[in-house]
Amino acid sequence: MKTLSLSFAAVALFSAFGSQATAYQNVFDTDGYERLTNYTSGPVSSALLTGEFAHNFEAQLILRGEGAYCESANLYSANDGRHIVNLGVKTIADRNTVEMGVAIPEATLTEKKVLHVSCYDAAGEWYKVLVNVPGAPIVDWQIELTPAGDFVNQPYSYGYHTAYHISSRLVIDNQNNDARCSVLADRGVSLGLFHGEDRKGPFHSDVFTLDTVVDNKAKNPVLYQILECENAVGKTMAVKVFNLTDPNSIYTYEDQLIVK
């Protein structure tokens, strides 16, 4: 009898936990890592990534009819599933929308994420609505300059190289199909970094190479280049400044990669 009682207790305990574990339904994002996601079922009809900067994540969900609402949300790593941060959620009933936002930890700015939102439909059915969230653009820019002409000394001013050879390899993963990249500043020296152009988009990822000699007709003491890539959640900016005033070499004066 004791064995029978334990068996019934075990079955009851398993049933309780089993029903709790399967109490909600997952609604998956099948649109990829895009700014807008549309859902064909569940309490949410669409999700829109509304933030402009990678440090501050923001999203808006459109509810499917009256009576639906959402009560909590969390961001997880798409790589290994670890929890990153929980979000504050606000349902605006008269507009059938849900708004949320949170600061993103610095170490995860370029990491792909999945937003899990706990929502209910008008009948009280529980759903976990999943939204794919791209990381900020990943930019890897390797560039080297070497003298390719004469060095001119100027009295009472900086000297300069009359020409220089550029070897550049720019690898970009925007993590999003509707992303764009452009040169923000070049001080009059266009390198045509994006396959001969100063901008490219929309595109997901690409590799851009450059092997050329630049005539320093303007007698510039530096080569100054800033490019920026922007996707659905943020921007990544690369800054390169080379000093052209050393007669023996050309060296990097500034090299920054800024995610914002």
| Residue keyed to tokens 């976990």 | 128
Range 80-93 average pLDDT: 94
pTM (2 d.p.): 0.88
Q: How many Cβ atoms sit within 10 Å of the Cβ of residue 233?
A: 30
- For a pLDDT cut of 70, what percent of the chain falls above it? 92
Is the predicted pLDDT of residue 11 greater than 80, yes or no? Answer: no
What average pLDDT does the structure give for the chain? 92
Sorted by where each begins, the domain ranges of the chain are 24-133, 138-259
Return the structure tokens found at 97. Answer: 């929308």
Residue 94 — φ and ψ, nearest 5°? -70, -10
Task: State mean pLDDT over 201-212.
Answer: 98
pLDDT at 216 over 50: yes
pLDDT at site 185 = 98
- Local confidence band at 13 (pLDDT 50, 70, 90 cut-offs): very low
Q: Do 24-133 and 138-259 share a fold? A: yes
Q: What is the pLDDT of residue 246?
A: 96
Out of 2.60.120, 1.20.120, 2.30.29, 2.60.40, select the CATH number for domain 138-259. 2.60.40
What are residue 221's phi and psi, to 5 degrees? Answer: -80, -10
Give the residue-averaged pLDDT of 24-40: 96
174 CB neighbour count, 10 Å cutoff: 28
**Count of CB atoms within 10 A of residue 121's CB?**
19
d(CA 64, CA 125): 13
SS in 3 state form for the chain? Answer: CHHHHHHHHHHHHHHHHHHHHCCCEEECCCCCCCCEEECCCCCEEEEEECCCECCEEEEEEEECCCCCEEEEEEEEECCCCCEEEEEEEEEEHHHCEEEEEEECCHHHCCCCEEEEEEEECCCCCEEEEEEEECCCCEEEEEEEEEECCCEECCCCCCCEECEEEEEEEEEEECCCCCEEEEEEECCCCCCCCECCECEEEEECEEEEEEEEEEECCCCCCEEEEEEEEECCCCEEEEEEEEECCCCCCCEEEEEEEEEC
Residues 112 and 68: beta-carbon distance below 8 Å: no
Which CATH topology does 24-133 take?
Answer: Immunoglobulin-like (2.60.40)
pLDDT at 94: 85
Can you give the pLDDT at residue 25? 96
**Across residues 108-133, what is the average pLDDT?**
97
Residue 6: pLDDT over 90: no
